[in-house]
A and B are shown apart, each in its own frame.
Chain A
Amino acid sequence: MAPIIEVTHLSKHYGRLRAVDDVSFHVEPGEIFGFLGPNGAGKTTTIHALCTLLQPTAGAATVAGYDVATRPHDVRRSIGIIFQDSSLDERLTAYENLNFHGILYHLPRAVRRQRIDEVLQLVDLAPRRHAIVKTFSGGMKRRLEMARGLLHHPKVLFLDEPTLGLDPQSRSHMWEYLRALRAREGITMFLTTHYMDEAEDCDRIAVIDHGKIIALDTPAGLKRQYGGGDRLTLRTEDDAATAEALQQRCRVSVERSEEGLRIALTNGHAGLPEVLAACPSKIVALDLHHPSLDDVFLRLTGRGMRDTDANELDQLRSFRKKWNLRT
């Protein structure tokens, strides 16, 4: 099947800054495609270019078969987006926000009604449907924003850190619905996230840093390639003797540390029995670590996945407060 998103040598520059720098990739129909990268890597900029909100400096992109530069209207008909920053009208009610969206996306009246009920139910806001959005908590606003993005069942759904600021229950709810929607309607999802478990659920992941894609593979593939292998941590009654014995008998690399012996294994589950059998002294503690996407991310970008989001959310909140005073 032809790719549903195709990006070729896409660049977006802000003056000297190369926010997106010669990026190429494609997304298959029905795929959940994840975009991972530290703050300022260029994720939102890429999404905005694909959504026709930004004119690329160079390169081309097609979404749902339409070129974003020459057929923006057709692209817009095919997509939905949940923005990273708030884009609700806080002076309207939840219902009015959704209804506005439904009309702009040309949903006929009956479908509109039924979908609004459905998505409000989904995000647990049905009892607050006629409340002014300004009176909502941060998480409730976020949930409403998600509900709105799902209202018109687009072919391609862009989710820019969709679950930022949601409680765990709302997040898992959300994902259940998204997966069901994909199974039913074959929706393609393009996702950015700083949560490891969400990234884990993607079919493929692109890691982006400083505007460039530095790795692109399935989660398992990324871990295999960049995770640094399985790591066994072992504490025995006589670590020195164990280290020597293991190095000779199993030909593995052993490193002594505070927590005990660190042993690198290419395949943890298969290698474990051999190591244990070769162990000369009594084992006190044992831990087997599989590489996570966090390890991959750290290795590729030099930063942890969740370095700064709490800060960002706080900033967003204080920004909103500042403006509320003025309105």
Chain B
Amino acid sequence: MEPAYVTSSWPSLGMIWWRDLLRFSRDQSQIIGSLSRPLLWLLVLGFGLGSVVTSVGGLTYPEFLLPGIIGLNLLFASFLSAISIIWDREFGFLKEMLVAPISRTTIALGKALSGSTIAVLQGGLVLAFAPLVHVHLAWGHLLATLGLMALLAFACTSLGILVASRTTSFEGFGVISNLIIMPMFFLSGAMFPVDRLPSWLAVLVRLNPMTYGIDALRAALIGIHAFPVWFDIGFVAGFAALALWGAVWYFNRTS
């Protein structure tokens, strides 16, 4: 009879998660990047386009844009952290995990959790800019926002890991993730309201999980939304489950 500690995979899962957080905390360039990227978008897009678009549904354009920028930042950060799986493979550390007595599922899940945690940390920094565009949050709204961000980040990271476990090089991952990130962002209603679009575009927008993630963020941050919030959450959660399942399945099959 073997002692009970042998069978639990929670400590391993926690360790895989914690290791990526440690790595992130030691990488200044990533931290600076995650601050400067949204700031730039918010300033350039918000105030640049804001001089043309005066108001959207009674809100100033920068206000309207804030949830979209948070979503975009989550999307970018999620894909960037999914790269760590390629990184680990390239530098041999993945072998250390693959020969250990833990399941492939634990590894993939640990990676998805650490990736989304880092993405939320990065995306959360954008919230610090909220007062800049005159969005002031109550504690309840802040908590709701963080919860939604975690869900959206988990969905995006799982997708990123699915892509990362299918590509073998950084370059390949860069190309494919751009092919995914750009349409996901531009077809999400992050920059424009989704209720007055030509129908062909509306179809694409409605299939995009980012649309619902950003819609829910908008509900929490500035009080407007195009779809019922429960539907937003359900759609993103469903997509997250599907992407995670795909990532775990693929990772199990290939390594």
Give residues in A with beta carbon < 8 Å to B: 51-53, 73, 76-77, 79, 81, 83, 85-92, 96, 99-101, 103-106, 108, 132, 148, 323
18 pairs, CB–CB < 8 Å, chain A vs chain B: A76-B100, A76-B101, A77-B101, A79-B99, A83-B92, A85-B92, A86-B91, A86-B92, A87-B92, A87-B96, A89-B19, A92-B23, A100-B19, A101-B100, A104-B15, A106-B6, A108-B5, A148-B96
> Across the interface, which residues of A come within 8 angstroms of B101, CB to CB?
73, 76-77, 104-106
Task: Give the interface centre of B12, B91, B99, B102 by most chain A CB atoms within 10 Å.
Answer: B99
> Across the interface, which residues of B come within 8 angstroms of A108, CB to CB?
5
List residues 1-46 of chain B with CB under 8 A from any CB of chain A.
5-6, 8, 11-12, 14-15, 19, 22-23, 26-27
Q: Separation in Å of the B114 CB from the closest CB of chain A?
A: 13
> Across the interface, which residues of B come within 8 angstroms of A99, CB to CB?
15
B98 at the A interface (CB under 8 A): yes
Tell me the complex Cα distance, A106–B93, Å: 18
Give residues in B with beta carbon < 8 Å to A: 5-6, 8, 11-12, 14-15, 19, 22-23, 26-27, 90-93, 95-103
Please state if A104 and B92 are interface contacts (CB–CB under 8 Å): no
Nearest B residue (CB) for A81: B99
Nearest B residue (CB) for A96: B22
Task: Give the interface centre of A53, A88, A96, A100 by most chain B CB atoms within 10 Å.
Answer: A100
Q: Separation in Å of the B12 CB from the closest CB of chain A?
A: 5
Whether A101 touches B23, Cβ cut-off 8 Å, given contacts A73-B101, A73-B103, A90-B91, is no
Please state if B23 and A91 are interface contacts (CB–CB under 8 Å): yes
Task: Give the interface centre of A85, A89, A108 by most chain B CB atoms within 10 Å.
Answer: A89
Nearest B residue (CB) for A108: B5
> Across the interface, which residues of A come within 8 angstroms of B96, CB to CB?
83, 87-88, 101, 104, 148
> Across the interface, which residues of B come within 8 angstroms of A106, CB to CB?
5-6, 8, 11-12, 101
Q: Separation in Å of the A66 CB from the closest CB of chain B?
A: 12
- Cross-interface CB contact of A92 among B6, B11, B22, cutoff 8 Å: B22
> Across the interface, which residues of A come within 8 angstroms of B6, CB to CB?
77, 106
Please state if B11 and A103 are interface contacts (CB–CB under 8 Å): yes
Tell me the complex Cα distance, A108–B6, Å: 9
Whether A104 touches B91, Cβ cut-off 8 Å, given contacts A87-B96, A92-B19, is no
Tell me the complex Cα distance, A63–B232, Å: 50
> Across the interface, which residues of B come within 8 angstroms of A103, CB to CB?
11-12, 14-15
Please state if B15 and A88 are interface contacts (CB–CB under 8 Å): no
Whether A323 touches B99, Cβ cut-off 8 Å, given contacts A89-B23, A91-B26, A106-B6, is no
> Across the interface, which residues of A come within 8 angstroms of B103, CB to CB?
73
Nearest A residue (CB) for B96: A87
Tell me the complex Cα distance, A92–B103, Å: 23
Nearest B residue (CB) for A101: B96
